[in-house]
A and B are shown apart, each in its own frame.
Chain A
Amino acid sequence: MPPEPPDSDRPNPWGAGESGAAGPTSPRTVVTAEGDKAAAAEQFNCPNCGGSIEIKAAGYTVTVACQYCGSTLDVTDPDVRIIQRYEEEVRKLDLPLGSRGKLRGIEWEVIGYMRRSENGTYPWDEYLLFNPYYGYRFLDTDGRGWTLGRQLTEMPAKNGLLGFTVDGEFYEPFYAQTRNQVDFVLGEFYWQVQVGEEALTADYVRPGKMLSWESSKHETEWTLGELLEPNEVPDAFGVEPLTGGGLPLPHQPSPYKKQSGQMMKIAGLAAAAIILFAIMFGGTSDPETTRVNLATNGVEQSAKIGPIELTRPRQAVTVSARAPGIDNAWIDLAYTLTDRDTGDVYEASNVVEHYSGYDAEGNWTEGSRSSSSKFSMVPAGTYDLTVDAAGSQWLEGQYAATRNAVVEVSIARGATFYSNIILALIVVFVPAIWVWIRHLSFESRRKSDSDFAGDDDDDD
């Protein structure tokens, strides 16, 4: 191990003499309070530039970065001394030091500000908030959203290979360990802060929350951040909303997730209702059957079923045909449904057919020996069904008349229109699936910045 460099800059709160730290110091005084309330601040003049500085978290604050000259000052001792001297134009902050705002029911004062980055890239702002009755919070932004963080007192428990659990909630890894540094600092802090100070961070996320691990040479801390709604910080501190843009934040909840889930639920309910209605109103009843003998030749044969009473104002009618004995043959069928009273005619045509053979790929069969035709919205009345059938055979590459073919035709009231069910289900599910696809696409964009991309198990 290399020998430690002499740490002459390190302040010594235990009085002069032992430390090599020199330079001007400045005494602190308590800002007097009114009535019997305790004072809220201490005041001193910056030993570098002379500017008047108030310490808002007296007793906790260890380091102050002068808001006028940027010098870092040590305030652990009654006499304030300089750690790092600066003479710079101090930048204007989005949330000025000393401004107060109420976030989620608690009033906070902005007392510190840090600009941090990974060696100049991926910069972010970190504000330190204080309320003597609630302690500290961190308010972070990289321009896309505000995250309110609180340092954890419990140690997150490792869960699985890379994740962690806090309060029973699982956090998946997002950013692997990265080194970052403090680029700029202003205001007061309860730990020693200096420009250039480095720390290692790693981040774990779940929708709306981020668990951050941070390790510096002094300590290791866990912070749990909650993503605030875009209007919360502007409403609380009276600042402009962030313009945002770019990829979603690592812990940004998918705006489509809830909607997609709700839509899937509604679509599921609708699908259940559709199937229920299909069962209730679908199906056939009271079949009547006739047989048509096509034994002799290819000539058209006719048969009749009737009378058929249809009692409901409108209904479907199913006519089905079956020819179990045919092979390499087809039977063309024409159905005519005639209303005895009005003479109105409903027509349909169908076929039953069956072919088989043998080729290079083996045995094949084709066609169906049964078929059904459905009539839609037939009005009430007394009907006759006329069946016209003609059989043909394909034998040794030639057409021929069917031999011994019998077709059985039956007519029944009602029908189940599978096409209706499918159409209704499509129409109900397509919007839900569309939103779900948008959810997946949001999630994939969100994860594209992760060091653990490709690990895309859903978190529900």
Chain B
Amino acid sequence: MSRGIMIFAAWCLLVTSGFAYASFAGYSPFADGQRASGARGPGGVFIGRGGPRHK
């Protein structure tokens, strides 16, 4: 097996184990929920995401 293949196999192993860990710990760089910067009471501020976009 060539060097390139070894490196690629190692890379795939790294990605796969990283993915396994992320899945186990529930990590995603694209998660919606974030930790708030400070403690605050209920009642968030709406960013006004909704609304019709057609046309």
- B30 shortest CB reach to chain A, Å: 4
- A-facing residues in B10-55 (Cβ within 8 Å): 11-13, 15-16, 18-20, 22-36, 38-40, 42-55
Chain B at the A interface: mostly helix, strand, loop or mixed?
loop
- A residues near B42, Cβ cutoff 8 Å: 302, 336, 338, 386, 388
* B43:A348 contact, CB within 8 angstroms: no
* B49:A431 contact, CB within 8 angstroms: no
- B-facing residues in A258-276 (Cβ within 8 Å): 259, 262-263, 266-267, 269-270, 273-274
In the complex formed, the residue of A with least CB distance to B43 is A388
- B-facing residues in A373-411 (Cβ within 8 Å): 373-378, 386, 388, 390, 392, 394
- B residues near A332, Cβ cutoff 8 Å: 46-50
Q: With A269-B12, A328-B52 as given contacts, are A375 and B23 in contact (CB-CB < 8 Å)?
A: no
Q: With A332-B46, A347-B36, A428-B15 as given contacts, are A314 and B26 in contact (CB-CB < 8 Å)?
A: yes
CA distance A359 to B52 in the complex (A): 15
Check A133 for interface membership: any CB of B closer than 8 A. no
* B32:A350 contact, CB within 8 angstroms: yes
Chain A at the B interface: mostly helix, strand, loop or mixed?
strand
- B residues near A378, Cβ cutoff 8 Å: 26, 33
Q: Say which residue of B2, B15, B34, B55 sits within 8 Å of A346 (CB atoms).
A: B34
Check A316 for interface membership: any CB of B closer than 8 A. yes
- A residues near B54, Cβ cutoff 8 Å: 355, 357, 364, 366
* B19:A349 contact, CB within 8 angstroms: no
CA distance A355 to B50 in the complex (A): 11
- Report the 6 A-B pairs with minimum CB-CB distance, sorted nearest first: A316-B26, A375-B33, A330-B50, A376-B31, A334-B44, A281-B23
Q: Which B positions have Cβ atoms within 8 angstroms of A?
A: 1-2, 4-5, 8-9, 11-13, 15-16, 18-20, 22-36, 38-40, 42-55
